[in-house]
Every structure is written in structure tokens, then in C-alpha cells.
Amino acid sequence: MDPALKIQAERLFQVLIEPGRESIESADRVIILPDGPLLNLPFSALIDPKNDLFLGQWKALVFNPSAGVVAGLKGLRTSFPRPRHTLVAFADPLLTSGAMVGQSRDLGPLPGSRSEVENIARIFGRDATVFLGREATESAVRSVTPGVTFVHLAVHALADRRAPLESVLFLSPGGDGGEDPDDDGTLKAFEVMNEMTIDAEVVTLSACGTAGGREVPGEGIIGLARAFQFAGARSVVVSQWPVSDQSTVSLMSGFYERLAQGIGPAEALRGAQNGQLALGGASAHPFHWAAFQVMGDSR
């Protein structure tokens, strides 16, 4: 790790975390309610200079915009046991050749996302339903039925900071070429909020910058993550920046292995991130694991 980066990570730990050390040491997990510039800070990459550990190694972290949201999410917890863990996953959608976001970003194929989902699906076996390539359509996402435990979307995304409810996940257009507005391959945040019910324990938005959106004072960031929470997801896993395909495959495999064992999402992500650190080399750099965070239920 770059020495200058480590110094900054230690300084931020001392300012933001050290004052609460006594309470944090006795906690199983830490709920963080960031605001302002802290909304974009990768808290898990802060370093405790006393034991030379990343905060994400030390404690499971959960992020939310306010204490009110934390209390409200407790009411969404399933009151009945699910007979088994089930997964619905989407990856490598078939996009229009040369499709662009604005004038600068090419929406090319996502072969790494296909490997990511195939690896995850093997963990769940017959309890996994996978939509790849042409089958990874908007209508398929909309058709996810209540009772599914985990929903995983490894696709392209764009967070719109000007109009956050226009933030979008890019999927394959439907069989009619996308002429149906409900199956045109662009699933927007406002559509998720207004038209979908996501009865899932965890929704993972494994795409570039899905934690982004528009900052609203006192409300945190409004965008895709909040849309899925509003639609009923207990927890949403999002990324703060684009991460390489290879490291994400490994990280997500470790995350879902733990979820399948009944471990909660915050602790499961912590375990997966520790797994990346244990690999050493480039995979141990915070760039490859600290982008992901859990928003929602504090279990």
C-alpha cells in the first residue's frame, strides 16, 4: 500500500473512529450514518494505527442515511423462516453494439460478470436461477417473485447525480427489440421504487458506482440503492467505484459462500474482504475490496 495513502487512512481513523473505540470494541458490528463528504469515504479502508488493521477487517460495517431508516428497516425483517436460501442472478446482458452512456462510456460485454454469477450459482446449486446474456432482460428482473432470498445484478450501471431517480441498470432489451417501455433494457431507480416489490434479504448491485446518486442533506444519497431499499430489500450491497472483474469474482464468491451458511450480509462481506487480503499481492489493495459496502439491515 502506498505510504502516503496509509498515512491518510490512519489519520482519518484517529479523527473519525478513535473517539468511539471503547464502544466499538464491544460491538459485533458498526452502523455508520455518513453525511456530506463522508458519503464518499471508503470507511472499511481506514487503518487503526494501534494494531495495523483496516477498519473493515476489525468490524462488520453497515451504512445507512439516518437512525430513522435503521429503525424502519427492522420492521421489514421477515417474520417467518425461509425454508432454504434461493438466488436469482443476472449477468453479461446483451447490449446494443456500440451502445454509449452520454458521449464517453462504451457499454461493452461483461464476460467477467458471467464468471462471477456462474461461480455464485454453483454455491446454491438447484436453488439458483440465472439469467445470462440475452436472457438478462429488464422483464426478467421485474418478474423476480416474493420469497427469493438473494438477488444479484452484475451489469452496467450509471448513477445520475443531477436526476438521481433516473439512475439506471442496463440489461438486455426484450424480444421485441426493447419497444416495450417496461422491457427496453433500462431499469431506472424510479421504476424500481414505484413498480417493483423486492422481497429479498440481500440485493447486490455488482456494477460500477452503484452507491452513487444525489446527496440530499439529512437523507444521504438518493439513487439505485435507496430505490431497492424502498422496494423492500432488507440490505443492498453497492460499490463506490469500478472494480476489476477478476477481483470482484473472487470477492463475491466469498461473500455468497458466507451468506449461504446463514451469516448476515455485513459479516459476510467482512469475511470476503478479509479473504481478499489473505490472497496478498494486488488483490490485497483496498482498491480491490473496499469499494463494496452494505446498506440496510444492521443484523
- Collapse the DSSP code of 8 into the 3-class scheme (helix H, G, I; strand E, B; otherwise coil) and give the result: helix
CA–CA separation, 199 vs 204, rounded Å? 13
What pLDDT, on a 0 to 100 scale, did the predictor assign at position 79? Answer: 47
- The 3-class SS string of 138-170 reads HHHHHCCCCCCCEEEEECEEECCCCCHHHCEEE
What pLDDT, on a 0 to 100 scale, did the predictor assign at position 136? Answer: 95
Pairing label, strands 220-223, 213-216: antiparallel
- Collapse the DSSP code of 60 into the 3-class scheme (helix H, G, I; strand E, B; otherwise coil) and give the result: strand
What pLDDT, on a 0 to 100 scale, did the predictor assign at position 299? Answer: 67
What pLDDT, on a 0 to 100 scale, did the predictor assign at position 19? Answer: 96
Residue 266's Cβ-count burial label (10 Å; 0-12, 13-18, 19+) is buried
C-alpha cell belonging to residue 47: 487503518
Which residues touch 141 (CB under 8 Å, ≥6 apart)? 90, 153, 169, 171, 187
**Residue spans of the chain under pLDDT 70:** 66-83, 96-106, 176-179, 298-299
Single pTM value for the model = 0.90
Cβ–Cβ < 8 Å for 202, 150 = yes
Cβ–Cβ < 8 Å for 87, 120 = yes
Residue ranges per domain, the chain?
3-72, 78-296
CATH topology of domain 78-296: Rossmann fold (3.40.50)
What pLDDT, on a 0 to 100 scale, did the predictor assign at position 243? Answer: 80
What pLDDT, on a 0 to 100 scale, did the predictor assign at position 69? Answer: 60
CA–CA separation, 153 vs 197, rounded Å? 16
Cβ–Cβ < 8 Å for 288, 254 = no
